[in-house]
Structure 1
Amino acid sequence: MPPCSATRPACTWRGTGTQRSTHILPRALQCGRRGRGPVMAQSSKIEWTQATWNPITGCTKVSPGCAHCYAETMAERWRGISGHPFEYGFDLQLRPNRLKLPLLWKRPKLIFVNSMSDLFHENVPDAFVVKVFETMREASWHTFQVLTKRTERARDLTRKLAELDPWPDNVWMGTSIENQRWVQRADSLREIPAKIRFISCEPLLGPLRLNLHGIHWVICGGESGARARRMDPSWVRDLRDQCVAAGVPFFFKQWGAFDENGRRVGKKRAGRILDGQIFDEMPRLV
């Protein structure tokens, strides 16, 4: 096993009791299989972004939206495969050799930060988060989309960051809210001085009443995969109507495994048309 990089205790995988720790990967594995070139996601199939950047991978579950995590499913396929970037599955891993990758992408992109993790996970050292922000500030021609379920830590840590430098204009900050139980995440998000603050309601697991004051974008989507939970169309329409009333751009990403009529047809066939329209509204780029 590689050495543990965090000073905090190892994480516990909620619901199983399995211990998961934070690792810094050996240099040969940080950028690709057996060091054969960097893992650079210069394009992405995620509808609301253009590329992904993962200086951290792995996470632990904090709420029901995490139950069927696509990133965990993908990473765990490779657990135990010697030399593979996910040899340690979905254990939290710091990947320092990926920190500067966005600087190599010369054309401006929308970049989703840590699609395979959470930048503000409690076992990611403050100093490493600072390094990620340094890269985002330096790569000013890109727009970075940071998404977290840990908004309280994000708020507290970004207050410290603000003492060093203002929040970068090219960094959007978002949180995931899957049902009414977790709407308080938006309260912490509003305290973060990002020019664009957004909410991702994916997977949407129940009806939501959102306070959209200080929120600049809402993403909505249903769950996909073999164990997907069905999203009620009334939840989607109500969320869309809230956004229209508040003047907030609304992006409908997908129905997920179930179509609008509740039939399990798979993500591709279910599509992303809502009431005869594709909603792909975006906030104004900064």
Structure 2
Amino acid sequence: MALGSGIEWTESTWNPVTGCNKISPGCKYCYAERMAERLQAMGQPNYKDGFKLTLQPQMLELPLQWKKPQTIFVNSMSDLFHKDVPLEYIQRVFDVMHRAHWHRFQVLTKRADRLAELSPEIAWPENVWMGVSVENANYVNRIDDLRTTGAAVKFLSLEPLLGPLPKLKLKGIDWVIVGGESGPCARPMAPEWATDIRDQCAKAGVAFFFKQWGGKNKKKAGRVLEGKTYDAMPETAPTVPVARVSRASGRSLAVVG
């Protein structure tokens, strides 16, 4: 994948790895798997093996060709910390992110145990945001693993949110994204799950981003939570000098518009 993304909290996607396998309930109706199957049917060469985990070394230096600073989601179609991605390859990905210092990179994993294990072997650039996915209370241990890493910015993607997450430990966490599942088999998200997390973030002083309600028609369902659109981002030095006022809090936040 390349320039342009429909994901609300990023601008572009970059996939030096494609393919994955399911490891927890949040993976059940994986959007990336559906997308990979479509791309395979279209004859896209990077997806000739469908959703089988595949290193794409020819894609490694792509961000270096993008001269306009932007926010880039790394491996929207895979998981960089999958057990079959060698450490040396992960280090090459991080080296590219270091060299492409004018961009902001967002890396997200469900394999937080391997992330924690490999973190001492990784040189963590300041422009890399590291996140973990947590879909229900059985997987909050991923947050503890994230906290042990050397990432400058740490975030949580609580999507698809499949259950309540009371009493989250948010110390050391800079950003929380919440979203319901989307797609033909989407499982519902209770409004109180989202509002409780919002309130926890407000109490802890953590930036809160409500991505979507989800459902079969996510555009129709929208992303308004109790009359507001929550699009706060971590208050770090922006790669693009754009600021807007969050409708949720009224504070000026460094964001990419």
Q: Settle same-fold status: TM greater than 0.5.
A: yes
Structure 2 residue corresponding to 1:129, chosen from 60, 84, 90: 90
2:138 to 181, 188, 191: 181
CA distance in 1, matches of 2:182, 2:42: 26
Structure 1 residue 285 displacement after superposition = 2.9
Change in 2 beyond 3 A, CA 1:229/1:93: same
* Structure 2 CA distance for aligned equivalents of residues 80 and 51 of structure 1: 23
What amino acid maps onto 1:169 in structure 2?
E
Cα distance in 2 for partners of 1:43, 1:77 equals: 18
CA distance in 2, matches of 1:240, 1:109: 27
Gaps of 5+ in 1: 1-38, 258-263
- 1:83, distance to aligned residue in structure 2 (A): 6.0
**Mapping 1:108-127, distance limit 5 Å:** 108-127=69-88
Q: Which secondary structure does the structure 2 equivalent of 1:45 belong to? A: coil
User: Are positions 1:276 and 2:204 aligned together?
Assistant: no
CA distance in 2, matches of 1:219, 1:80: 32
The match for 1:224 is 182
Residue 71 of structure 2 aligns with an amino acid whose one-letter code is L
Please tell me whether residue 247 in structure 1 is matched to residue 230 in structure 2.
Answer: no
- Rg (Cα) greater in structure: 1
- C-alpha distance 74-83 of structure 1, shift in aligned 2 (>3 A): closer
Q: Report if aligned partners of 2:147, 2:173 keep a CA contact under 8 Å in 1.
A: yes
Alignment partner of 2:125 out of 157, 165, 168: 168
1:28-67 superposed matches below 5 A: 39=1, 41-67=2-28
d(CA) in 2 for partners of 1:45, 1:81: 20
Contact 1:53–1:111 under 8 Å retained in 2: yes
Residues 6-25 of structure 1: pairs in structure 2 closer than 5 A: none
Say if 2:157 and 2:178, in contact at 8 Å, map to a contact too. Answer: yes
TM-score (normalised: structure 2): 0.89
- Structure 2 unaligned residues grouped into runs of 5+: 238-257
**Which amino acid counterpart does residue 217 of structure 1 have in structure 2?**
W
Check 1:126–1:274 CA distance in 2 against 1; reply closer, same or farther (3 A cut): same
SS of residue paired to 1:174: strand
Distance 1:126 1:60 in 2: 18
Gap change, CA 1:99 and 1:233, over 3 Å in 2: same
The 1:83/1:52 distance shift into structure 2, 3 A limit, reads closer
The amino acid of 2:230's aligned partner reads F
TM-score, scaled to structure 1: 0.80
Distance 1:83 1:254 in 2: 29
How many residues align structurally? Answer: 236
Secondary structure, counterpart of 2:132 in structure 1: strand
Q: Amino acid of the residue matched to residue 185 of structure 2?
A: R
Q: 1:65 to 1:117 in 2, by over 3 A?
A: same
Matched, 1:201 2:158: yes
Q: CA RMSD in A?
A: 1.3
Residues 240 and 82 of structure 1, relative CA distance in 2, 3 Å threshold: closer
Equivalent pair of 2:46/2:56 in contact (CA under 8 Å): no
Look up the equivalent residue of 2:101 and give its one-letter code: S
8 A contact 1:81–1:87 mirrored in 2: no
Q: Secondary structure at the match of 1:85?
A: helix
CA pair 81-244 structure 1, distance change in 2 beyond 3 A:
closer
SS at match of 2:46: coil
Per-residue CA deviation, residues 28-62 of structure 1 (Å, 9 max, x unaligned), is xxxxxxxxxxx5x2111100001110000000111
1:236 to 181, 186, 194: 194
CA distance in 2, matches of 1:81, 1:98: 19
Look up the match of 2:243.
Answer: none
Q: Please say if residues 159 and 181 of structure 2, whose CA atoms lie closer than 8 Å, have aligned partners that are also in contact.
A: yes
Q: CA deviation at 1:81?
A: 6.4
Q: Which of 214, 222, 229 is the aligned partner of 1:256?
A: 214
AA matched with 1:215: I
- The alignment-based identity, stated in percent, is 56
- 8 Å Cα contact 2:130-2:153 kept in structure 1: yes
In the other structure, the counterpart of 2:120 is 159
Displacement after TM superposition at 1:85 (Å): 2.7
Equivalents in 2 of 1:116, 1:196: separation in Å? Answer: 22
